[in-house]
Structure 1
Amino acid sequence: MTFQQHSTVLAGDAPGQSTTLYWYTAGPEDAPTKVYLQAALHADEQPGTMALHHLLPMLRDADAARTLKARFTIFPSVNPLGLATRVLRRHIGRYDLETGVNFNRRWPDLYPQIAQAIAGKLVDDPQANLATIRKAVGVWLDQQQPATAAQRLRLLILKAAHDADIVLDLHCDDESLKHIFTSPDLMPGLQDLADRMQVAATLTAEDSGGGSFDEVLPGLYRKAQQANPGFPIPMGAETATLEYRGQADTHDAMGREDAQGLHDFFAGRGLIAAPPPVATPAPGPTSLEATEMLRADRAGLLAYRVNLGDQVKKGDVIADIIAMDGPEAFIGRTPLRAGTDGLILSRVTAKYVVAGASVAKIVGCDILPARAGGYLLED
């Protein structure tokens, strides 16, 4: 059996401080395909951890039966630093409290770091070029000298994921239907994942503006292709952020269902030797630039007029904002209207909002001029 638990002690930022990160591997070490899974990079988002809790025994049993055909690396709760950031009985697992940086933002742009290292080494063999790029990234990562606990954690994650063929980052929204974020280059290739998850939407962007983890490897290979047009360079990693509903949806039965969807996706790819059931087709991809991040234009109390999954038209009232000051305080209501036709994908659970707060995602079909080429995340 190759199923194994590992632990890594990460030095903290204060003398005598450290934290332990637990992770697993399974499957043949020499398997031709490497799969990397992580959950709770935003440490206050637990549905993905619940899903991996149920997936791990499936992988353990498949490993014992020798039916794993890929090498799996699994971090069920990848951010112990974020797990520890509780303030006044609230879990603040989305941001590094030292810097204020979102744990899923500002991941490195790898291609400029390795461009010189691969110069003159590319050939006519796409697999050889892929190996050259991965080796260069590995060398660069080995040269890094992180100074903080957060930097040490990021480096550990990148070392574990940089040479994987499939990289899945499990998250959740606030209150939401299941959806995926991925790169347009990887669709329709990842439609089988969308089908197995039964997502309501797959949202695509080459660069959402925030340096998200799932964009690191596609960005690397895309820029390598653009900079070296005379050489065949494959898109060497299928990566995606999987949004498993909302934060409150950390339920045993849902986790079991989500784990089964992942298992069936791997089985459908031949990475687990098991016959998967027939998948029900999910909606195809749409550009993230066609998704409206509807924001409040004033402070107040939200009163929604729509539910998750509703189809709306441009101009429809999505919610009223109840005034909490001024002459109409606690009486007046101002409608907040949709700026596009589309599907209500998410809402917020905290109903007191301030001006500029995101209150809903509306997945449309048409690129929104205000979104084209801009920062695409909530944040």
Structure 2
Amino acid sequence: MAFDRITHTIDADAPGTTAQLTLFKIGPADAATKIYMQAALHADEQPGIMALHHLLPLLKSADERGDLSARFTIFPMVNPLGMGQRVFEDHVGRYDFRTGTNFNRRWPDLFAAVDTDVAPKLTNDAAANVAIIRQAVRDWLDAQRPATAMQKLRHLVMTEAYDADYVLDLHCDNEALVHLFVTPDSMAELGALADHMGSVAQLTAEDSGGGSFDEVWPSLWTRLRQAYPDKPIPFSASAATLEYRGQPDVFDHVGKDDAARLYGFFQAKGFVAGTPPKVESAPAPTPLSATEMLRVDKAGLLAYRVELGDEVEKGQPIADLIALDGPGAFTERTPILAGTSGRVISRNTAKFVVPGNSIAKIVGTEPLASRQGYLLED
């Protein structure tokens, strides 16, 4: 049994500055299953911090009772660098100020990193292959020499996550219903997670094009299985991005309920003793390429015609864009039409938009011709 708090000090890029990164390790150290969780990689997305704040004591009590059969590694606030980024009192936590990099993009391609090392070592023993692959990732991580603060942060995080069987990355949208981003191979293990979360949409993509954190781990196993079909390689890292509503939705009672639902999922999987609550089945997964990221092509003021959860038809007006300049300034509206039929799961809280801004996600069922390659909003 264990409930250990560990704090790493990261030397930041400016002289005399540091950042603290805290994690918790909970449960029996020799447990066969490892669950890795983090929140606020996009540092201005904080509902997950609240959820993990409430989950930690639940897991601590379970550990004290001897009810845990898995070990947990949890970063309640995984991005202290982004937490410190403010512009005139506004928190900007999605992009690294120094490089402009989205904190949840361009994570390393682990297949490319370890394939050459792994290939000659694979055996006909599935368990041995899992150990070989994880050791290769660890060896690659140990060989890295991170220089910048962000590189150091990422290196610490990956060193804690590389051997996890489950990787859960807690995020949120701007204004949204609960939903999941998940790889197809992960969905088999995480269907119960969607059920317990009360997720309204499971958006699947093997590669969404951005190198996001949640795809790093399953991608490694999926691609190795594809590259070496004659070798037994179990799929050994189920991962997802958990989207907990919108940025303003940081409330005690909501976070407490989210934590209880996560706890119920762990019970359902047998990682925590006890009977999980009965929950309704979540909607079936759909391809991320079938979800429209509805964008505007000019600046204006949004006036929505739909609410979150509404079912809409292709061609239906989702919002009006009120002109703020030109001959029709302040008197004319341009309807913004849905490009697919489906359910509206996100909107903008900011109503002033500029060309290229995404104003809604509409979850359809049929892949869209316009949705290929890079599938994320960014």
TM-score class, shorter-chain normalisation, is over 0.9
**C-alpha distance in 1, partners of 2:23/2:222?**
30
CA drift at 1:9: 0.4
The question of 1:59 aligning with 2:59 is answered: yes
TM-score, length-scaled by structure 2:
0.99
CA drift at 1:117: 1.2
| Match of residue 376 from structure 1 | 375
CA drift at 1:187: 2.1
The question of 1:122 aligning with 2:122 is answered: yes
**C-alpha distance in 2, partners of 1:374/1:230?**
29
CA drift at 1:119: 2.2
The question of 1:318 aligning with 2:315 is answered: no
Deviations 1:233-288 (A, max 9, x none): 11111100000000010011100010001000001111011111112111110000
Q: 1:188 to 1:119 in 2, by over 3 A?
A: closer
**C-alpha distance in 2, partners of 1:114/1:203?**
28
**C-alpha distance in 2, partners of 1:189/1:273?**
18
* Aligned amino acid, residue 57 of structure 2: P
Paired residues of 1:188 and 1:285 also in contact (CA < 8 A): no
**C-alpha distance in 2, partners of 1:127/1:286?**
32
CA drift at 1:129: 0.7
The question of 1:307 aligning with 2:307 is answered: yes
Number of aligned residue pairs = 378
**C-alpha distance in 1, partners of 2:82/2:15?**
19
**C-alpha distance in 1, partners of 2:197/2:335?**
34
SS at match of 2:121: coil
CA drift at 1:189: 2.7
**C-alpha distance in 2, partners of 1:116/1:237?**
20
| Match of residue 223 from structure 2 | 223
* Aligned amino acid, residue 29 of structure 1: A
Matches for 1:240-319 after TM superposition, within 5 Å: 240-319=240-319
Matches for 1:157-236 after TM superposition, within 5 Å: 157-236=157-236
**C-alpha distance in 1, partners of 2:355/2:19?**
38
Give me the CA root mean square deviation: 0.8
**C-alpha distance in 2, partners of 1:6/1:186?**
29
Deviations 1:310-335 (A, max 9, x none): 00000000000000001110000000
TM-score, length-scaled by structure 1:
0.99
Post-superposition, which runs of at least 4 consecutive aligned residues in structure 1 deviate over 2 A? none
| Match of residue 146 from structure 1 | 146
Matches for 1:338-377 after TM superposition, within 5 Å: 338-371=338-371, 373-377=372-376
Paired residues of 1:118 and 1:136 also in contact (CA < 8 A): yes
Deviations 1:7-63 (A, max 9, x none): 110111122211111110110000000000000000101100000000000011011
SS at match of 1:188: helix
| Match of residue 12 from structure 1 | 12
* Aligned amino acid, residue 377 of structure 1: L
CA drift at 1:120: 1.7
**C-alpha distance in 2, partners of 1:310/1:92?**
30
**C-alpha distance in 2, partners of 1:185/1:73?**
22
The answer for unaligned runs of 5 or more in structure 2 is none
Moved more, 9-18 or 164-173: 9-18
**C-alpha distance in 2, partners of 1:243/1:13?**
31
Paired residues of 1:10 and 1:152 also in contact (CA < 8 A): yes
Identity %, equivalent residues? 59
* Aligned amino acid, residue 273 of structure 1: A
**C-alpha distance in 2, partners of 1:240/1:104?**
13
Moved more, 185-194 or 196-205: 185-194
SS at match of 1:129: helix
CA drift at 1:188: 3.3
* Aligned amino acid, residue 323 of structure 2: A
**C-alpha distance in 2, partners of 1:189/1:168?**
12
**C-alpha distance in 2, partners of 1:207/1:351?**
31
* Aligned amino acid, residue 62 of structure 1: A
Moved more, 14-23 or 171-180: 14-23
CA drift at 1:356: 1.0
**C-alpha distance in 2, partners of 1:279/1:234?**
29
Deviations 1:202-251 (A, max 9, x none): 00001111100000011111111122121011111110000000001001
The answer for unaligned runs of 5 or more in structure 1 is none
**C-alpha distance in 2, partners of 1:350/1:138?**
43
